[in-house]
Amino acid sequence: MKHELRISGMTCSSCAEHVEKALNAIPGISAAVSYDRALAEVDAPEELAVGELIAAVAAAGYSAQIADDSPAAATGDGGDGLHVAVIGSGSGAFAAAIRAAEEGARVTMIEAGTIGGTCVNIGCVPSKVFLRGAHAAHTQAAHAFDGISRTRPVIDRRAMVAQQQGLVDELRHAKYESILETNPDIELVRGFASFEDARTLVVRTNDNSEQRLTPDRIFIATGASPFVPEIPGLSDTPYWTSTEALVAEELPARLAVIGGSFVALELAQAFSRLGAEVTVLARSTFMSKEDPALGEGLQEAFEAEGIRVLLHTVPTRVEHADGVFRLDTENGVVEADRLLVAASRQPNTAGLKLDRAGVETNANGAIEVDDHLRTSAENIYAGGDCTSMPQFVYVAAAAGIRAAINMTGGDAEIDLRMMPAVAFTDPQVATVGLTEAAARAQGLEVESRTLPLENVPRALANFDTRGFIKLVAEKGSGRLLGAQVLASEGGEIIQPVGLAMRGNLTITDLADQLFPYLTMVEGIKLAAQTFTKDIKQLSCCAG
């Protein structure tokens, strides 16, 4: 049977030779590839699925799809080739669906709720708008510059929420809904999916009917939801999770926040800056999974802004009466008008019936995956917050792309050793690579240097020297292993360190680089110089 494939990704005639070789390596195939026409003409046995041809091209590093005038396209064989089902519609799901379609697969996306998942709807986008608005209010009231009046602004929370949600709606349509409207290779099925067995999905649609799917590959990207700890009385109260807090049109006079990690601390500081009296109750310390100095420095910044911090504190009981929350703790009673519970997040896997498919999870219900996003079940992949991977949207998207490549015959792995992370508090907490403790746990001999921001000229010019830059290196070789940053622009500082690590640069390499003067990122160079010099003895811009 003759097939014609449109090939994308070729940049020269040698590329065409590579594609031709990959196709002819399939038993029974005779293929000729034209670079000028971006076309592969293939003679194949009738029993050979077109998806195998597309997968072979993908494995060679290119993309293929059935040409419009190909006999396979006319008979529908191309559409009946490799079928990929994607459960979920967040960033990881869309990344997988788009890439799988580009690789020639027919994609079915299954979603019962709002298109777009956590990030655009109830996570990254609305939270960053909220935080930036609170930052503007704080800057107006408490900036550090003489000669400029400081005035506490009047806050219209309803207007803030309207603007915030307007952007959410705009981005959801532009980045998610419009893709479904314009990509004919991705079909949306509305409903809840669960496994009947490793090969069969049962979708209970929104009209309460059932649909069975038997795709060739399945990608699970169902995300995560706020975890609510089992505290006596809590479930009987009108507490907030981050979802409700972000769209609340009221500003409570007093807010209690349960949690000591990213989400809890970002929202706690934002509400404080908008005028609420905030108490944070952390089970252990701030950012307990990070270098201890980061949490200590952030706690100091919070307390300087008037936020009450209670460490190693878990409520033993929560009550709500007459509009007031009462939290009993070992450190006394905390009263508040609103309670935000942001202790952690749990994967959305409970309703998938993963045991029927042989998909293994950890004790928290997160799906276990390897570096190719494969689960314990053949042909079932997973990525994003429903897995044991770090819960960041860019990790989910990267996982989706790599899973799609692998589901369509390629070979791609995800490497998280140099994954940057940022908490958008003020100052921001930014990390990449290993801490000292983690490096030593791996048997590495390390040395580190911590540069207080009072030694960074731009921080001095900003009148904001809160925080530090810490670099961790392998002793002897000087190989950069990681960095921890506490700074108002930590998120903008951390990425160059990750790139330096990927390039296997040493501390000496960093110290010798040219960094523009009076930038915060110059602190990376200065921190590297402290391994061999006393920077207080250097002039400005000293190389």
DSSP 161-208: HHHHHHHHHHHHIIIIIHHHHH-TTEEEEEEEEEEEETTEEEEEETTS
Confirm if 456 and 526 have CB atoms less than 8 A apart: yes
Task: Please state, as a whole number, how many other Cβ atoms lie within 10 Å of the Cβ of residue 198.
Answer: 15
12 is annotated as an active-site residue = yes
Question: SS3 for 486?
Answer: strand
Whether the predicted pLDDT of 79 surpasses 50: no
Percent of the chain whose pLDDT exceeds 70: 96
Instruction: Read off the tokens for 163.
Output: 């603007």
10 is annotated as an active-site residue = yes
Question: SS3 for 381?
Answer: strand
Instruction: Read off the tokens for 202.
Output: 């049962």
User: Is there a domain that residue 149 lies in?
Assistant: no
Which segment of 42-51, 259-268, 277-286 scores lowest on mean pLDDT?
A: 42-51
pLDDT at 60: 83
Amino acid at 406: N
517 is annotated as an active-site residue = no
pLDDT at 333: 97
Q: Which of 1, 124, 418, 419 is catalytic?
A: 124
pLDDT at 62: 78
User: In the chain, how many domains are there?
Assistant: 4
* pLDDT tens-place string over residues 85-101: 999 999 999 999 999 99
* Residue 122 CB contacts under 8 Å (≥ 6 apart), including other chains: 242, 243, 246
pLDDT at 369: 97
Instruction: Read off the tokens for 73.
Output: 């396209």
Q: Is 57 exposed, middle or buried (0-12, 13-18, 19+ CB in 10 A)?
A: buried
pLDDT at 11: 73
User: Is there a domain that residue 131 lies in?
Assistant: no
Which residue, 298, 323, 342, sits at the end of a domain?
A: 342
pLDDT at 42: 93
386 is annotated as an active-site residue = no
| CATH label of the domain that carries residue 458 | 3.30.390.30
Q: Are residues 436 and 464 in the same domain?
A: yes
Q: Which of 109, 119, 160, 501 is catalytic?
A: 119
Whether the predicted pLDDT of 533 surpasses 80: yes
Q: Are residues 256 and 300 in the same domain?
A: yes
* pLDDT tens-place string over residues 233-262: 999 999 999 999 999 999 999 999 999 999
Mean pLDDT score of the chain, rounded to an integer?
A: 93
Percent of the chain whose pLDDT exceeds 90: 85
Q: Are residues 219 and 311 in the same domain?
A: no
User: Is there a domain that residue 150 lies in?
Assistant: no
33: β partners: 40
Q: Are residues 222 and 246 in the same domain?
A: no
Whether the predicted pLDDT of 74 surpasses 50: no
User: Is there a domain that residue 199 lies in?
Assistant: yes
Instruction: Read off the tokens for 58.
Output: 């993908």
Q: Give, in order, the Cα–Cα distances in Å from 49 to each of 73, 81, 82, 276, 498.
A: 13, 6, 8, 62, 42
pLDDT band at 18 (very low <50, low <70, confident <90, very high): confident
Give the mean pLDDT of 432-451. 96
Whether the predicted pLDDT of 425 surpasses 70: yes
pLDDT at 71: 46
Which residue, 315, 342, 369, sits at the end of a domain?
A: 342
Give the mean pLDDT of 366-383. 97
| CATH label of the domain that carries residue 180 | 3.50.50.60
Residue 92 lies in domain = 84-117+167-226+346-407
Whether the predicted pLDDT of 540 surpasses 70: no
Whether the predicted pLDDT of 48 surpasses 80: no
Beta strands in 44-88 (DSSP E): 63-66, 83-87
Nearest residue to 124 via CA among 246, 257, 269, 286: 246
The half-sphere exposure of 352 on its side-chain side, counting CA atoms within 13 A, is 29
pLDDT at 379: 94
Q: Which of 15, 109, 287, 389 is catalytic?
A: 15
Q: Which of 10, 109, 386, 501 is catalytic?
A: 10
> ∠ CA 27-32-37 to the nearest 5 degrees?
145
Whether the predicted pLDDT of 78 surpasses 50: no
Mode of pairing for the β-strands spanning 338-341 and 254-258: parallel
Q: Are residues 355 and 450 in the same domain?
A: no
Nearest residue to 366 via CA among 340, 385, 387: 387
Whether the predicted pLDDT of 72 surpasses 50: no
* pLDDT tens-place string over residues 327-363: 999 989 999 999 999 999 999 999 999 999 999 999 9
Q: Give kind and range of the element (H or E) at residue 280.
A: strand 277-281
User: Is there a domain that residue 127 lies in?
Assistant: no
User: Is there a domain that residue 41 lies in?
Assistant: yes
Q: Are residues 382 and 445 in the same domain?
A: no
Q: Which of 1, 160, 394, 540 is catalytic?
A: 540
pLDDT band at 75 (very low <50, low <70, confident <90, very high): very low
Q: Give kind and range of the element (H or E) at residue 130.
A: helix 124-142
Q: Which residue has the tokens 């799988």?
A: 100
1 is annotated as an active-site residue = no
Regarding pTM above 0.75, the answer is yes
Q: Are residues 280 and 350 in the same domain?
A: no
Alpha helices in 351-426 (DSSP H): 393-407
Whether the predicted pLDDT of 171 surpasses 60: yes
pLDDT at 537: 72
Nearest residue to 222 via CA among 383, 404, 34: 383
Q: Are residues 235 and 270 in the same domain?
A: yes
Question: Which of 10-24, 202-216, 285-299 is the most confident on average?
Answer: 285-299
Q: Are residues 280 and 302 in the same domain?
A: yes
Q: Is 174 exposed, middle or buried (0-12, 13-18, 19+ CB in 10 A)?
A: exposed
Q: Are residues 374 and 494 in the same domain?
A: no
Question: SS3 for 132?
Answer: helix
Q: Is the peptide bond before 427 cis (omega within 30 degrees of 0)?
A: yes
Q: Are residues 480 and 398 in the same domain?
A: no
* Residue 138 CB contacts under 8 Å (≥ 6 apart), including other chains: 273, 305, 426
Instruction: Read off the tokens for 414.
Output: 């995800």
Q: Are residues 212 and 90 in the same domain?
A: yes
pLDDT at 54: 84
User: Is there a domain that residue 321 lies in?
Assistant: yes
The half-sphere exposure of 318 on its side-chain side, counting CA atoms within 13 A, is 26
Q: Higher model confidence: residue 47 or residue 76?
A: 47
User: Is there a domain that residue 151 lies in?
Assistant: no
pLDDT at 527: 96
Mode of pairing for the β-strands spanning 428-433 and 421-423: antiparallel
